[in-house]
Structure 1
Amino acid sequence: MPSHPSVEPPQEDTKRKAQRVAWTALNVALIVLAAWVLREFIAPMVWAGVITIALWPLLLKLASPRHRQGGATALALGVTIAVGFFVALPFVLVFAQTALEAHDLMAWIKNTEANGIPLPHFVEQLPFGKQIADWWQANLARPFEQSPAMKQLHGDTVATVGRHFGALAVRGIVHFGFMLLTLFVLLQTGPRLADQSLKVVRRFFGVEGAQLARGMAEAVRGTVTGLVVVGLGEGLLIGISYALTGLPHAGAIGLLTAIAAMLPFCAPVVFCCAALWLFGHGSTVGAIAVLATGSIVVFIAEHFVRPILIGSTTRLPFLLVLFGILGGAETFGLVGLFIGPALMTVLVVLWRESTQQPL
């Protein structure tokens, strides 16, 4: 007679399901634990991933066809150094300019402490100018020792603010270093890591998941192109107006404008301050020229060039591009500028697939 198994098939099936559930729960728990351990480094890793995705087409053109290890390492190192130089250059220029003018800056600080800051003539012509002028005369136009507002900034407050700023600066430098290290590793192992990532996505989510991942990568790449390239263009054009109107340090302020223009609707803060400085120093025509040039450049760039550049790459409508950038920045910070459009791409892909399904 045939021997019967000691465990019935239904019991074996139940046991296997329980094992799969336990294995899945263990994987989820380990992933959550690993994410918690890496929580302080998630932002640098995401930034490195965004930069790698943005530079991927360039890397494919520069990489050797045989993709030898030595060549890949040299290429990754060169690109990492270039990215670090590009990011650090504005801060180095600002620090160098500050160091060159440290003597004049210290003299100005001592003079303002002893005599206060004179009220600019144009302040009274502004909306609520009378109220602003009264506050200025009571707090800023007199020696700081007699100023009620300055007395509130006692030594402990200044020391606390200084320590907080110093801690943020050190943290930013450390995160920047880890971002560059992660970027080098990603660039060095890029092709192999990309193939492995696509295999994992296909295994768990099928061909549709792989296509969705490619669409998200294209959205990130298009957003980086739109923000960086358009921002540099805005800074260059507005910087020319700075130079023509005689604004001091036009190159440095133009670079600051370009950095601000990489963030949506932030460039007006810089060129309005520049125009205000020109107006306060008697150059009314120059102030109007800077305001007019900046407004026209920003209007065209923000409403036409940038949405078209990002939308043509990601095939996103203008409204979703705008909502993705602004909503992503509000939710995730600066890195959300790139995550937001990627998530909007997911919504558009899911919507198009759902509308193509037969009822």
Structure 2
Amino acid sequence: MEKDNNEAAINRAVNTALRISFIALLIILSFWILKPFLAPVAWGIIFAIGIFPLHKKLSKLLGNKDKVSATIIGILGVALVVVPVVLFANSTIDGVHDAYEAVEAGTFKIDPPNESVADWPIIGKKAYEAWSLASENLTALILKYESQLRGVVPKITSAVGGLVSTVLLFIISIVIASSLLLFAEPGKAAANKVFATLIGEKGKEFTELSMLTIRSVVQGVIGIAVIQTFFLSIGMFFMGIPAAGIISIIVLIVAIIQLPPTLVMLPVIIYAFSMGGTTAAIIFAIWSIFWSLADTFLKPMLLGKGVDVPMLVILLGAIGGMLLSGPVGLFVGAVVLALTYKIFDSLVKE
């Protein structure tokens, strides 16, 4: 009798192991198949949750027309991504084309640096020497740093390719987010079921906590970073700052990881003063400092109450996500780690 019980127990264990292995195999295969779509879908879900309150307000103004509201939000979102990219791309292409024509015609000239450039901390002396050499003999400067330039070109090409793919991913994610806005209630119900299965009777509470956390990070961290970058980019565009697009990307990254954009803008302000035109440089400096510090009054307006997340969590999430999957991880990493922190914190308190 005991032998039969042991055999029955072994059979049950083997059957259970086979079933678990089969389910695990299906999950792994499904993950591999869906892996190319995970990033834009995850980003789209995050965006959809973050902008859902705006969608409901707009829908109400339009007479409860959810489809029209979602379409408008989708078009505006794509425009906010495409228009700045096109402007910066055109500006860069025109600048390169004009420089090439000037070099071909022999009229290309770089103005000599202001004496104050030599007083810049750390890099002042070398920057002044390189700038002076470029203004006197550009060919000599290129020959002097030829080996370094050869190593930089592939990196620039790779960075441009990465930027293009990121922009496309942004657009796809915004389209997905605008579509998901129409399925908010079914999505919430599905989330309730998932959390109920994983956690138990408090599943609905964790669904609400997850939504509030994502919304808080999207609006209070990513949203503020985008607002700061947008207005700082306008200032650089009107001042004619070279490589304004690249600087804007750096500002966005710095703002998301909760460091002051002043760290990036201070050298730009110094460069603006070295270009001449003191009045314009002073206005640009005031504009840049104001928007670099704008998070001090934007956070109380946009950051959700009761779902505050430590800065270290956002910092680690953004940096870790960026190292793991590039610019996409910069956004998703901050949200995922913040969500994990809040859920774990809630579980520990329970």
Q: Could you tell me the TM-score, scaled by structure 2's length?
A: 0.73
Q: Distance in 1 between matches of 2:78 and 2:202?
A: 36
Match of 2:346 in 1: 349
1:221–1:17: structure 2 CA closer, same or farther, 3 Å change rule? same
> Residue 50 of structure 2 contacts residue 214 of structure 2 at CA under 8 Å; is this kept in 1?
yes
What is the aligned counterpart of 1:118 among 83, 107, 112?
Answer: 112
For the residue of structure 1 that corresponds to 2:75, the secondary structure is: helix
- The equivalent of 1:357 in structure 2 is none
Counterparts in 2 of 1:175 and 1:118: CA distance versus 1, 3 Å: same
The one-letter code sitting in structure 2 at the alignment partner of 1:152 is S
Aligned alpha-carbon RMSD (Å) = 4.3
Which letter maps to 1:214? E
Deviations 1:226-255 (A, max 9, x none): 135434654687689x59xx96369x979x
Tell me, yes or no, if structure 1 residue 281 matches structure 2 residue 275.
yes
Matches within 5 A, 1:282-297: 282-284=276-278, 287=281, 290-291=284-285, 294-295=288-289
Q: Distance in 2 between matches of 1:188 and 1:54?
A: 14
The answer to whether the aligner puts 1:310 opposite 2:303 as a matched pair is: yes
Bigger CA radius of gyration: 1
Distance 1:84 1:122 in 2: 42
Q: Which amino acid aligns with 2:344?
A: L
Q: 2:259 aligns to what? A: 265
Q: Distance in 2 between matches of 1:211 and 1:54?
A: 18
Specify the alignment match of 1:133 in structure 2. 128
Aligned twin of 2:326: none
1:192 to 179, 186, 190: 186
User: Which amino acid is the alignment partner of residue 270 of structure 2?
Assistant: L
Match of 2:34 among 25, 29, 38: 38
- Structure 1, unpaired ranges of 5+: 354-359
> What amino acid sits opposite 1:83 in the alignment?
G
**Deviation, structure 1 residue 125:** 1.9
* C-alpha distance 78-216 of structure 1, shift in aligned 2 (>3 A): same
Partner in structure 2 of residue 142 of structure 1: 137
The Cα of 1:325 is off from its aligned counterpart by 1.3
| Residue 39 to residue 149, structure 1, CA distance change in 2 (3 Å) | farther
User: 1:338 and 2:299 equivalent?
Assistant: no
**Contact kept? 2:313, 2:338, Cα under 8 Å:** yes
- Structure-2 change in CA distance of 1:18 and 1:214 (3 Å): farther
**8 Å Cα contact 1:238-1:290 kept in structure 2:** no
Partner of 2:315 in structure 1? 326
8 Å CA contact 1:224–1:338 kept in 2: the answer is yes
Q: Using the alignment, how far apart are the partners of 1:43 and 1:140 within structure 2?
A: 46
Equivalent AA in structure 2 for residue 248 of structure 1: M
Number of residue-to-residue matches in the alignment:
332
**Where does 1:1-359 land on structure 2 (aligned, <5 Å)?**
12=8, 14-61=10-57, 73-98=67-92, 104-106=98-100, 118-128=112-122, 129-137=124-132, 141-145=136-140, 147-152=142-147, 160-161=154-155, 163-165=157-159, 167-231=161-225, 234=228, 248=239, 260=251, 262-263=255-256, 264-265=258-259, 267-269=261-263, 271-284=265-278, 287=281, 290-291=284-285, 294-295=288-289, 298-299=292-293, 301=295, 305-306=298-299, 309-310=302-303, 312-316=305-309, 320=310, 322-333=311-322, 334-335=330-331, 336-353=333-350
| Aligned partner letter, 1:49 | I
| Offset at residue 219 of structure 1 (A) | 1.0
Q: Is the 8 A contact 1:44 1:176 kept in 2?
A: yes
Counterpart of 1:38 in 2: which secondary structure?
helix
Higher RCO (C-alpha under 8 Å, 6+ residues apart) = 2
Cα distance between partner residues in 2 of 1:224 and 1:114: 46
What is the deviation of 1:13?
Answer: 5.4
Output one character per residue of 1:13-33: Cα deviation in whole Å (capped at 9) or x when no partner.
Answer: 554444333322322232223
Question: Shift of the alpha carbon at 1:275?
Answer: 1.5
Deviation at 1:167, TM superposition (A): 3.7
Deviation at 1:39, TM superposition (A): 2.8
Q: What amino acid is aligned across from residue 351 of structure 1 in structure 2?
A: V
Classify the secondary structure of the residue corresponding to 2:191. helix
